[in-house]
Amino acid sequence: MPQKITYNSPFLEAAVGFALGAVGGSILGATEDPVHRSLYAMTAPQKMKPLIDEARTVGPLGLGSLIGATALTTAMTSVVAGVILSAAVASVFVVTRSCSGASQTNTAVLWVTAGLAGVYGTTSSGGTLGIAIELIVKNYGMMGLLWGLSLFTIIKIPFHFIFKTMFQAEMCCGLNTVWEKERERIEKSDSEQRQRVAVQIEQQILSLENGDETGSPEKREQWASEKRQREELERKKMATEEAEIEQRSLQDWINTIVMKHIDFLAFSGIPMTFVAIITSVIGVYGYGGHQIVIPLLLGLVAIIAYSLLKTSEFKFWMLIGCMGMIATTVVALLTIHAEQMVVGDALKLHKIGQSKKKTEVETQMDFQASLEALNAAYFVAKVCQLGLGATVGGPLVRQGAGEARVIVGAAILGGVLLLVVEVLEPVLGEGGKAGAMLGAVGATGAALGAATALAGRWSSWFGTIATLAGLVLGALAVGEWHIVNIGLQLPVAYVFAMTNPF
C-alpha cells in the first residue's frame, strides 16, 4: 500500500494539492478545443466523401464497428508504443548509469528523457496510423480498411512473442554485463589490497626478527592507511550490492510494465476486430441495417465478454479488450440509430405531403451514418487514450516516482504536443493530425491520472478535497466550461488511475 503524503499543516496539504490538481485539470481543459477542431475538420463534407461513398458497402453496423475498432486500435497502439519506447530508454539508463547510484542530475535526465521518448512514441505512432488509415480509406475504401485492420491484428500476435524474447534477453544481458564488470573491478582492488597487506606483514615479521618490536611511525601510518582502505573497500562492496539490488528491482518493474503492455497490444484488439469483421460481413450481404441483427450482435458481444471476464487467469488486456469491444458496439449502434433517424424524419415528411426522393433520403442516410460513426469513434478513442494515459500516471505516483514531477512533467509535455501538432498540421493532414492529437490526450491522461492518484494519498481530507477541486476547476476554466465532456472524462481517468495493470 502506498505511503501517505504528510505536510506540517493540513492547509499546506490543501494548497499543494489544489495547485497540482489545477495543473492536471488545466491540461485536460486545454485539449478540448484542439480536439474539437480536429474532429470538425475530419467531418467536413468534402473530407467525408470517401466514407459516404462506402457507407452502403458494409452497412451502418459494419461502418460504425469498423471505424470504432480502427480508432480504438490507433489509440491503444499509440499508447503502447509510447510506453514501450519510454521503458526502453529508462532501461538503458538503468543499465548504463553509475553502479554506485544515480545522482539527482542523472535521475532528472532519466525522467525527462523517458518522458520525451514516451511522448514521441505515442504521437509519432498515432500520426503514422492516422495517415495510413486516411490513405487506405481514400484508395481502397471500407473493405481495404477491414483487410488492413484484420492483417494488423494478426501480425501483432507473433510479433509480440519475438519482441518479448528480444527485450528480456537484451536488458538482462546488459545489466549482467555492467554488474559483472563492477564486481571484477572491486575484486581486483580487493586482491591488490590483500597483496599489499601480505607484503607488509612479511616486512613486519622481518622487523620483529631483527629486534624492532614497535615498528617505525611510517609503518604505523601505513597500517592505518591500509585499514582505512579496507574499510572503504567494504563500504563500497555494500553500496554496490545495495545499488545492484535497487537497479535490478527497478529493471524488473520496467520489464513487467513492458511485458504487460506488449500482451495488451497483441491481444486487446482481437475482440473488437472480430466484432467489426462479423458486422462488416453481414453488411456486405445486405443485412447491416436489419433490426434482427442488433440482438444477435449484442448476444455475441455478451458471450465474448463473459468468456473473457470469467477466465481463471484474468489479465489486464482482457479487461481493456472487453471495454474496447463494447465501445465498438456502441459506436455501431449509434451509427445505425443515426440512419434510422433520417428514415423516421422522411416518414414524417411523407405523412404531411412533403416527400423526398429516395436517392435524397439514401444520400442523407449515408451522410448521417458516416458523421455519427466518426463523431462517436473519435470520442471513444479520446476517452480510451485518456484512460490508458491515466494507467501510466496513476501507478507512477503510487510507486513513489514523485507526484509533482509526474503531474507537471506530463502537463508540460501535453501542452508542447498540442502546439507541435498544430504547427505540423499541413504535413500531417487531417488523419495524421487526429492520430497525433490522441498522443497529446495520452499525455493529458498521465497528468490527470497522477493527479487523481495523488488525491488518494494525502494524510488528511483537506488535501484530497483540494486536489479534486483543483482538478475540476482547472479543467472547466481552461476547457471553456465544457461540463459534459469534462464530467465524463474525469471519472474515467480516476477509475483507470486506480487500476493496477502490472
Three cell numbers, residue 243: 545499488
Q: What is the mean pLDDT of residues 457-468?
A: 83
Three cell numbers, residue 169: 534477453
pLDDT at 212 over 60: no
Q: Please tell me the predicted confidence (pLDDT) of residue 104.
A: 46
At 82 the three-state DSSP class reads helix
- Residue 45 falls inside a structural domain: yes
- Residue 270 falls inside a structural domain: yes
Task: Spell out a b/e string for 457-494, using b for 16 or more CB atoms within 10 Å of the CB, else e.
Answer: bbebebbbbbbbbbbbbbbbebbeebeebbeebbebbb
Task: Express each pLDDT in 3-53 by its tens digit.
Answer: 666 666 778 888 888 998 899 889 888 888 888 888 888 887 777 887 887
- Residue 396 falls inside a structural domain: yes
- Ramachandran angles phi, psi of 436, nearest 5°: -65, -35
Q: What is the mean pLDDT of residues 143-162?
A: 88
pLDDT at 62 over 50: yes
- Ramachandran angles phi, psi of 212, nearest 5°: -90, 100
Distance CA 375, CA 434 (A): 12
Q: Please tell me the predicted confidence (pLDDT) of residue 172.
A: 57
> What sign for the dihedral angle of Cα 56, 57, 59, 65?
negative
Q: Please tell me the predicted confidence (pLDDT) of residue 95.
A: 66
75 vs 458 pLDDT, higher one: 75
Q: What is the mean pLDDT of residues 275-294?
A: 83
Residue 54 burial (CB count, 10 A): 20
Strand partners, 5: 458
Q: Please tell me the predicted confidence (pLDDT) of residue 176.
A: 54
Q: What Rg, from alpha-carbon coordinates, does the chain have?
A: 30
> 351: exposed, middle or buried (C-beta count within 10 Å: 0-12, 13-18, 19+)?
exposed
- Residue where the block lists cell 505540423: 424
Q: Please tell me the predicted confidence (pLDDT) of residue 219.
A: 61
Per-residue pLDDT band at 227 (split at 50, 70, 90): low
DSSP symbol at 215 = -
The region of weakest confidence among 238-242, 290-294, 415-419 is 238-242
Distance CA 175, CA 247 (A): 9
Q: What is the mean pLDDT of residues 222-236?
A: 67
Longest dimension (CA), the chain: 131
- Output the DSSP codes for 319-353: HHHHHHHHHHHHHHHHHHHHHHHHHHHHHHHHHTT
> 116: exposed, middle or buried (C-beta count within 10 Å: 0-12, 13-18, 19+)?
middle
- Residue 502 falls inside a structural domain: no
Closest CA to 18 of 494, 466, 397: 466
Q: Please tell me the predicted confidence (pLDDT) of residue 67.
A: 92
Kindly report the average pLDDT of the chain as a whole number.
Answer: 79
331 vs 187 pLDDT, higher one: 331
Residue 313 domain boundaries: 10-497
Per-residue pLDDT band at 102 (split at 50, 70, 90): very low
Three cell numbers, residue 168: 528480456
- Residue 3 falls inside a structural domain: no
Q: What is the mean pLDDT of residues 421-435?
A: 82
HEC profile for 431-450? HHHHHHHHHHHHHHHHHHHH
Distance CA 96, CA 275 (A): 45
The region of weakest confidence among 210-214, 247-251, 486-490 is 210-214
Strand partners, 458: 5
Three cell numbers, residue 433: 493530425
The total domain count for the chain is 1
Distance CA 385, CA 353 (A): 48
HEC profile for 114-133? HHHHHHHHHHHHHHHHHHHH
Per-residue pLDDT band at 160 (split at 50, 70, 90): confident
Closest CA to 230 of 198, 204, 194, 203: 194
Residue 252 burial (CB count, 10 A): 12
443 vs 231 pLDDT, higher one: 443
The region of weakest confidence among 104-108, 438-442, 455-459 is 104-108
- Residue 1 falls inside a structural domain: no
pLDDT at 321 over 50: yes
pLDDT at 105 over 50: no
The structure's pTM equals 0.81
- Residue 287 falls inside a structural domain: yes
Task: Express each pLDDT in 323-365 by its tens digit.
Answer: 999 999 999 999 888 888 887 877 777 677 676 777 777 788 8
Closest CA to 382 of 438, 458, 326: 438
The region of weakest confidence among 66-75, 232-241, 275-284 is 232-241
Q: What is the mean pLDDT of residues 192-215?
A: 59
pLDDT at 501 over 50: yes
Task: Express each pLDDT in 119-145 by its tens digit.
Answer: 888 888 888 888 888 888 888 888 899
- Residue 2 falls inside a structural domain: no
> 223: exposed, middle or buried (C-beta count within 10 Å: 0-12, 13-18, 19+)?
middle
Per-residue pLDDT band at 103 (split at 50, 70, 90): very low
- 268, 274, 275, 279 alpha-carbon torsion, rounded to 10°: 150
Residue 84: which residues within 8 A CB-CB, separation 6 or more?
121, 258, 261, 262
Look up residue 211 and give its amino acid.
G
Distance CA 79, CA 264 (A): 10
Distance CA 135, CA 342 (A): 29
Three cell numbers, residue 222: 601505513
Residue 5: which residues within 8 A CB-CB, separation 6 or more?
13, 403, 454, 457, 458, 459, 463
Closest CA to 174 of 243, 101, 95, 252: 95
Closest CA to 393 of 118, 108, 133: 118
Per-residue pLDDT band at 296 (split at 50, 70, 90): confident
pLDDT at 275 over 80: yes
Q: Please tell me the predicted confidence (pLDDT) of residue 100.
A: 43
